[in-house]
Structure 1
Amino acid sequence: MSTERMPNPAVLVPEAMAALMAVNRAVAGAGVDGGLLALSHLRASQINGCGPCVAGGVHQARQHGVSADQVHAVAAWRETPWFSDEERAALALTEAVTRLADRPDPVPDQVWDMAAKHFDQKELAALLLNIALTNAFNRLNVPTRQQAGTW
């Protein structure tokens, strides 16, 4: 495995890290279950291959009481019985938003409508901000080859 290329860019620009963490705190206080936010973070980080964020997502999920079955099976959530309709809607939205370039209609109405059925606008906003923030951290960690477990 390659070594780290440089510290996380947000660590090198402390004001940036402070801003990212402020967004994270705002999302956490917006009324969406912390376990659901952790599952969303974990799933996006798995897609993006971000080791530190996968490890952090697992830790965060366990802190919020997410079951071991869910944590271990989140990558295959469609094929398991362990996720509620609300969690499925959030995970489908997470995958669509994380993979914007993979299809002509990146977030199909079916995915959006299912999420909107389970979350009000403020909660949807928090979920979208959580997905965007996760993707931002993934895009800082992956190119700089940050390693899980080194913090």
Structure 2
Amino acid sequence: MELRFNLFENEIGGKFAKRFANAGLLVQQSPLPKTIQELVSLRASQINGCGFCIDMHVKEAAAAGETPVRLHLVAAWREATVFTEAEQAALAFAEEGTRLADAYNGVSDETWALVRKHFDDNQVAALVCLVALINAANRLAVILHQQGGSYEPGMFAAAVSSSPSTED
């Protein structure tokens, strides 16, 4: 499977990627813990079958100090003892927010209550935005056939900063 189109080499795609990355930067700089951001991004990417994003978030999480055991258990977090209650709430939220078509009401009231129990308003806002962004990123990468395996930590940030029309 070859990359269908390089979004970063296109004027419109480059501008979009910069704006998208800036939205992601806002979430990254939020008070939502980095560990939770990476676990949520990884879980949504697993559900969506996005090899590029799985590769990216495993490597970014590992570079930030996440353990291999926890990374290996994200896909089966309900059957693992290595995640805190807050992380479990965030992972449940990521799953329900990703699988919207599978649930009549999207995120359940039970999951929402768990998220509200563990996160303040700014963290909740960041979590909602993160789930929306990672799902959009997964769709972009899958549509374009971006494959996983060659990502290096920090690579996405470098690509966005050097994309065409980054002054916009």
How would you bin the TM-score normalised by the shorter chain?
A: over 0.9
Shift of 1:30: 1.1
Contact 1:44 1:94 in 2 (8 A): yes
What is residue 87 of structure 2 aligned with on the other side? 87
Q: State yes or no: 1:21 paired with 2:21.
A: yes
What is residue 96 of structure 1 aligned with on the other side? 96
Moved more, 131-140 or 62-71: 62-71
Q: State yes or no: 1:69 paired with 2:59.
A: no
What is residue 128 of structure 2 aligned with on the other side? 128
Shift of 1:52: 0.6
Contact 1:96 1:107 in 2 (8 A): yes
What is residue 4 of structure 1 aligned with on the other side? 3
Gaps (5+ residues) in structure 1? Answer: none
Shift of 1:81: 0.3
What is residue 137 of structure 2 aligned with on the other side? 137
SS in 2 for 1:115: helix
Distance in structure 2 (CA, Å) of the matches to 1:70 and 1:104: 30
User: What is the aligned-residue RMSD (CA, Å)?
Assistant: 1.3
Distance in structure 2 (CA, Å) of the matches to 1:25 and 1:142: 22
TM-score (norm 2): 0.84
Alpha carbons of structure 1 residues 88 and 54: separation in structure 2 relative to 1, 3 Å: same
| Amino acid corresponding to residue 19 of structure 2 in structure 1 | A
Q: Number of aligned pairs?
A: 149
Q: Which runs of 4+ in 1 moved over 3 A?
A: none
Q: Percent identity?
A: 38
TM-score (norm 1): 0.93
